[in-house]
Amino acid sequence: MHETGGLAVADDIKSDVDKDYPDIDLGPGETVQSIISKDTIPPNESERRVSWYDMGNQDIDIDRYLTREYHELEKEKIWKKTWQVACREEEIPNVGDYYVYDICDDSIIVTRTAEDEITAYVNACLHRGNALALDCGHKKEFRCPYHGWTWALDGTLRWVPGEWDFGHVDKKCFNLPSVKVDTWGGFVFINLDDDCAPLREYLEILPDLVSEEDMKNRYKAVHVSQVVPCNWKVVQEAFIEGYHVAETHYEKDEKNWPSAEGIAAFSCDTKIQYDVFPESRHINRLLLVDGVPSHYVAHKVDEQKTVDVMLRRVPEEMRPKLKDGERARDALADFNRKALSELYGVDLSKATNFDVLDQAQNNIFPNFTIWSTTFAPLMYRFRPWNDSPDQALFEIWFLHPIPDDGREYTVAKENRIGPDEKWEDQPEMGVYGLIVDQDMPNLFRLTKGLKATRKRGITLGSYQESRVRHFHKTYDEYLNED
């Protein structure tokens, strides 16, 4: 075996690489920490943290992706036991606004019952079980569209049509059942377990990694979703590691190698930092730096080329021209501070290079991902769909900073695209639409291959796929709890 920047490459493959690409340096290079330590405006303390521990190298049983048995276990031991992001506070700003969150067989109405109070009710009429609401909107009361039984926003039963026929119903005992609800960073969380730990305890180290105040000071500017033909864990795992980036996302040259004319020229997939924390089972993290080329093409890219490729959609005369010794990262960060300040209507003049240039993914078990930088303000949510282990609802939100220059902004409604529609064709997705479309074929192929394989487990890298392993470690703990 040959060690290449922390990766082990078989000797026969290395010899082919030497033959076809003799000028490629696969040796160890800078880390995320050594790169960001040189920034003109250095990163926050939270980005300077590094944490990883060995979780073993055992295969992950594939039945959990495929079988009804595992799906039913998840319904009882994960979806009924964990804190999940249901919506954003700005989506229910007024008393009577509501949002329906569905997870497998459960349906929850999250509603603002007072200016400073949010309540979550089981979405079922206590008469015959009809769902009281189906999506989101505004109501002064929850009236069943089947027979008209009506509940006030505080959950009390107000009216029973033909009440003379229900003398056996004590209205005081017919309040809508509620579930646990709490907020953090503008996110509204629900938990179906009456005996659950408080949300702040569940979030563990997340407040040390992501600013709650920063998350509060954002709004949902984009919400695009699609039902995809795979297990929810398959699609989630496709978006929490960077090991696939070179093969799935990079433009290729004539030898089918990552091209120095594309994303590889400015996005350093080979130097991603993966953080798993021994003290935290619900949170893990990924840090990816931009303005630095991938190891695959670094021998072909100088600092100016990194700038030019990253800003290739910007007219050449508007791109920064580097002086001798100047780093692309610093010039790109300066450019982005101005561009993002104008785009969002906020002052980013003192923002760190990391905040305006890089990407940070923070996973909250089981199914939510916060991208916390201003440069890449995405959120992911993954859920089973149609009570099936073979379908999932994949959602992407963009949380933009709330403008401080007085401009108006609009909270986005969900744009549910069809199974054959492309993310690239949704204008609000910008450059990310094409990237998501590049991932989609893998989801179909993964499901097909997992069902066809005779190997009963998936094999994970110790470091680059450590967040996937960390997820399954927590997953197993929940499934094995009494």
Task: Classify residue 389 by its DSSP letter.
Answer: E
Q: Quick one: pLDDT at residue 482?
A: 77
What is the dihedral angle through the alpha carbons of 45, 47, 48, 52, rounded to the nearest 10 degrees? 130
Residue 39, both tokens: 């920034």
Closest to 245 (Cα-Cα) out of 268, 275, 273, 276 = 268
Q: Where are the beta strands (DSSP E) in 7-140?
A: 7-9, 60-61, 84-88, 97-103, 106-114, 117-122, 136-138
With a cut of 60, say whether residue 20 has pLDDT above it.
no
Over residues 449-471, mean pLDDT: 97
pLDDT-derived band of residue 378, with 50, 70 and 90 as boundaries?
very high
pLDDT in tens, 252-294: 888 888 899 999 999 988 889 999 999 999 999 999 999 999 9
- Calculate mean pLDDT across residues 461-478: 97
Euclidean distance between CA atoms 224 and 261, whole angstroms: 29
Measured at the CA of 54, the angle between CA 57 and CA 272, to 5 degrees, comes to: 95
Average pLDDT over residues 15-20: 44
Chain segment 160-217, per-residue pLDDT in tens: 999 999 999 999 999 999 999 999 999 999 999 999 999 999 999 999 999 999 999 9
* Mean pLDDT in residue range 237-248: 94
Q: So what's the pLDDT on residue 269?
A: 87
Q: What does the pLDDT look like over 47-79, one tens digit per residue?
A: 999 999 999 999 999 999 999 999 999 999 999
Higher pLDDT, 129 or 8: 129
Q: Find the mean pLDDT for residues 353-358.
A: 98
Phi then psi for residue 121, to 5 deg, are -115, 150
Cis amide linkage into residue 161, ω under 30° from 0: no
Tell whether the model's pLDDT for residue 26 goes beyond 50.
Answer: no
Query: What radius of gyration do the chain's Cα atoms show?
Result: 25
So what's the architecture of 84-201 in CATH? 3-layer Sandwich (2.102)
pLDDT of residue 205: 98
Nearest alpha carbon to residue 120 among 144, 92, 148: 92
CB 276 within 8 A of CB 51: yes
CATH superfamily of 31-62+209-480: Naphthalene 1,2-dioxygenase Alpha Subunit; Chain A, domain 1 (3.90.380.10)
CB 209 within 8 A of CB 283: yes
Report the pLDDT averaged over residues 218-242. Answer: 97
Nearest to 217 by CA among 425, 402, 48, 416: 402
Give the model confidence (pLDDT) of 73-90 as tens digits. 999 999 999 999 999 999
The DSSP code sequence of 326-356 is: --HHHHHHHHHHHHHHHHHTS--TT--HHHH
One DSSP character per residue, 33-69 reads HHHHTT-SSPPPGGGG---------PPEETHHHH-HH
Q: What residues are paired with 396 via a beta bridge?
A: 224, 380
Scan for tokens 């350093």, then name that residue.
Answer: 268
Chain centroid to Cα 391, Å, comes to: 18
**Confidence band, pLDDT 50/70/90 cuts, at residue 22:** very low
User: Given pLDDT bands bounded at 50, 70 and 90, which one contains residue 29?
Assistant: low
pLDDT of residue 257: 83
Q: Which of 443, 422, 444 is nearest to 433 (CA)?
A: 422
What pLDDT is stored for residue 270 in this prediction? 84
Whether the pLDDT of residue 25 is over 50: the answer is no
Task: Report the share of the chain in percent with pLDDT over 90.
Answer: 89
Query: C-alpha distances in angstroms, 298 versus 32, 268, 354?
Result: 15, 9, 20
User: Does residue 2 carry a pLDDT above 50?
Assistant: no
Dump pLDDT digits (tens) for 128-174. 999 999 989 999 999 999 999 999 999 999 999 999 999 999 999 99
Residue 238 has pLDDT above 90, yes or no: yes
What is the C-alpha to C-alpha distance for residues 216 and 269, in angstroms, rounded to an integer?
30
pTM of the model: 0.92
Interatomic CA distance for residues 475 and 416, integer angstroms? 28
- Average pLDDT of the chain, as a whole number: 93
Instruction: Indicate the domain borders of the chain.
Output: 1-27, 31-62+209-480, 84-201
Question: What residue has token string 């982005």?
Answer: 336
pLDDT value at 12 more than 80:
no
Report whether pLDDT(24) > 80: no
